[in-house]
Amino acid sequence: MKTTPALALIAALLTWASPAAAEERTMCLAACEETTQTCLDTVYDAYDACGPAANESCDRAAPAEKMKCLSTALQACSRTRVSETQSCRATLKSCAASCGPRDAGQYEFWCELEADMPTEDVHIRMNSFCVGPPGVSPGEQHDHCVKLFTPTDPAMGYALDCSPLL
């Protein structure tokens, strides 16, 4: 799922300082976000295809070897996903750093949400920038971003990470 709910927040929070510089930074960050989304979409598509391919491949294994085959194949899927996701994040951080300095005292985060709808067989992935509100501690800015992305349905299983872009 491709969504960028925090981009409007970035624009609103950055334009109060220096409108021209903030607009340039916002545009640059939007380009970074788009590139990262494309990178992550490719990783997720490959990961989503990896499990079924592992099942199909291991179906041909002898019954005694089937579990070992599947375990090895799925571990390889996970390792590849982690490695490629880290590469996408490294590119994001490098790109964001090239956008110029952020406002002093205001932190930017990259938030990643994976959630499962409780009543449907739907898996949601959302990745986006989040800029913390100015004038509060880094921890409060982080908490603000986490709150923006935390699902409100208590029955929804999810994993959420908002990492600072330093």
The tens digit of pLDDT for each residue in 80-139 reads 999 999 999 999 999 999 998 888 888 999 999 999 988 788 888 999 999 899 889 999
d(CA 42, CA 48): 10
Into how many domains does the chain fold?
A: 1
121 domain residue, yes or no: yes
Helices assigned H by DSSP within the chain = 6-14, 19-58, 66-97, 138-149
1 domain residue, yes or no: no
72 domain residue, yes or no: yes
List all residues 6 or more positions away from 155 whose beta carbon is below 8 Å from its beta carbon: 118
List all residues 6 or more positions away from 38 whose beta carbon is below 8 Å from its beta carbon: none
79 domain residue, yes or no: yes
pLDDT tier at 20, thresholds 50, 70, 90: low
The token pair that represents 57 in the structure block: 């491949």
Specify the pTM.
0.76
Residue 146 has pLDDT above 70, yes or no: yes
Which helix (H) or strand (E) segment holds residue 109: the answer is strand 108-116
* CA 19-96-15 angle, 5° bins: 15
146 domain residue, yes or no: yes
Residue 67's domain comprises: 6-164
86 domain residue, yes or no: yes
d(CA 44, CA 8): 25
27 domain residue, yes or no: yes
88 domain residue, yes or no: yes
- Phi and psi angles of residue 106, each rounded to the nearest 5 degrees, phi first: -120, 130
